Structure 1
Amino acid sequence: MSKIIFITGASKGFGKLWAEALLQRGDKVVATARNVAALDDLVAKYGNNVLPIKLDVNNRNEVLSVVSTIEKQLGRIDVLINNAGYGLFGTTEETSEEQARLQMETNFFGSLWVTQAVLPVMRKQKSGHIIQVSSFLGLTAIPMLGVYNASKFAVEGLIETIGLEVAHLGIKTTLIEPNGFATEWAGASATQTSAAIADYTPVREGFAKSGENPDTWGKPEATVAPILEVIDSATPPQRLLLGKIAYHAMQQVYTQRLKDIENWKEVSIAAHGH
């Protein structure tokens, strides 16, 4: 049975790739983007199965209006894929107030506004699946992406909490946590901090060098089958890492975290006071 799937940030990258894969198998896709002209090829190919809508997720009123339109025209929303977002590159000290606020506005608040707008529809249905594109950098951090890391840490807490709040209503949540992929995320969709501080040159150079190995970057098309599997699962995971870099990094991070927890166990318990 075909599903009605609402995808934000569908003009390029993961959003467009997944939208086309869903359309190819017969699902109906509401594809939103700030530039809807980028969706013309999908409309030409899939006709009425795709509903292209202009949407800036930073505009809460526009988000509410779009969800109302979807409900009126299609009657339901089976799956939300919160994909809109971008990367902000530079050290944390170099990040301006405007850049930091806009990063959080899009990556965190944009996801919040869309999820809040969709939840009433899913509550009425007593079903639905919220798939949030996060990052493995919502679980650990690397330099040069401080505010981006923070935005994804925030998204992780948001969606995990919502999952606990809506489980009894038949609504599921999944956090998708990719490592770097060869999409526009680190290119056209990225923003750089402005003034470079010389003291951070070694950090900047080390970061640039880490991305020189082509094996670091996953192949976007390889994510299609895993995403379809998550959408089709009766028991989807709360979290899904995408890519071998993310898997190995998180295995190491959690091993060390558990070690630290156990090493400091007595101090932690004593801090309770009784």
Structure 2
Amino acid sequence: MTDEPSGLAEMFEAQRDRLRAVAYRMLGSHADAEDVVQEAWIRLVRQDATAIDNLAGWLTTVVGRLSLDLLRSRRAHPESEYGLVVTPADEPAPDEQALLADAVGVALLVVLDSLTPSERLAFVLHDMFAVPFQEIGQILGKSPDATKMIASRARRKVRATDRPAGPGREYRQVVAAFRAAALAGDFEALLRVLDPNVKLTVDTPDGMIVTIGATEVAAGARRFSGEVASHRPVLLDGRPGHISLRADGTPLSAVAFEVAEGRITAIHIITDPAKLAALH
């Protein structure tokens, strides 16, 4: 393998899309996936490239380990887990992001979130990218047989989990109906698009506030709409939502939705100014 910088860069670029796909499936965040892939490149240029027999395998291992570390960090510090990528819904999404969203789907990412970091790594690398158990075991510090058991356990969890509906046309229509009803303060219209057991989670500077039930959520949305001058439809990591704006154009909140059977089952609202400012 050549150690010429330009040659090494070309070989890395040939692997970039696959590495980004691995990291995105592991992390569920385009921003975090980009960071992990960039860190893999930094580590590569610090290595003696001539000593790497299998560049693709070496890079996959590095990306897997970095993703695993980040997943474990999220579990230890869940309050720091913010990787939403905001894409204006009225503009074409980048081809690369659209391809990744189509390949994985929001539904699968939700399912993968139910796995432990080790289970997620084993499932993603083996079942999605056909990485041998021996190589995955080296990342996890486990034997191939133990790694097979971890992947099997993850597979059973994935198969047993009901996958919510992805962001298709009906999904977008439900979200648009909620947005219009909230802006108009139309209580009855809000109730029509909310699941009876809808869960609202509001991320404020003082912590999380959770409300359950269509009546309570609709009442809160109607009161909250008084501060909103307009909405900007966006995709939040591929999931339909919107940014709410004040009259002066500053963001009031970012909202993401989950929809099943034509009704909204969950709403996540970010109102913390620091976290709004951190959205990509």
Same fold (TM over 0.5): no
The TM-score by the shorter chain falls in which range?
A: under 0.3
TM-score (norm 1): 0.23
Larger radius of gyration: 2
